[in-house]
Amino acid sequence: MKLQTPRFGEIDVDQAQIISFPSGVIGFPQVRQYVLLEDDKNAPFQWLQAVEDANLRFLVINPFLFRKDYEFEIPDPILEQIGAEKPEDVAVLAIVTIQPDTHRLTANLQGPVVVAGNTRIAKQLVLVSTPYHTRHDILEEMGVKMEAEPVSAGAAIQKP
């Protein structure tokens, strides 16, 4: 299947690559199919690209890369819904926002996306009674005080 994306141009999507979200990503309930795209220039960030809407994509990251102690419980009914037998079968992605005002890279750790490896069915959770929130500054979480770099990320965004 061919897919026209703003970032990568035309890409070929194999049916087997598709990750399905039976209830969509929160706020985008109609869009059910995505693919996870690697991006050399922005690794380890990846793109969760919608198949049905080429303009819809999220920057995502494996949250454990910057927050090793990140943890939450996946309720059994959710595991069942996505077809995972145990939590170890589940991959976790955090959706990243580049804050328009500060250009900070923030990750939503309160709304993690869980993907069952065997079925490729995914769901975005909303964690309750959790220390996590929707805007964790990724670079700060890594314990590095950044001065110039976030600004250059901003410059990258503003490039015409």
Partner 1 sequence: MLVLTRKSGESIRIGDEITVTVMEIRGKQVRLGIEAPAETTVHREEVYRRVQEENRLAATAPLRDIDSLGDIWKTVERKKNGRKGS
User: Could you list the residues that contact partner 1 (CB under 8 A)?
Assistant: 6-7, 25-28, 39-45, 56-59, 75-77, 80-81, 95-100, 105, 108, 110-111, 124, 126, 128, 134-135, 139, 142-144, 146, 149-150, 152-153, 156-160
- Looking at the Cβ atoms of 11 and 26, the one nearer to partner 1 is 26
Of 46, 45, 40, the C-alpha closest to 19 is 46
Beta strands, E only, 7-89: 9-12, 19-20, 33-37, 46-50, 57-61
E strand or H helix at 153, and its extent? helix 149-158
Shortest distance, CB of residue 85 to partner 1, whole angstroms?
17
**150's tokens:** 């976030």
Shortest distance, CB of residue 157 to partner 1, whole angstroms?
6
Shortest distance, CB of residue 131 to partner 1, whole angstroms?
14
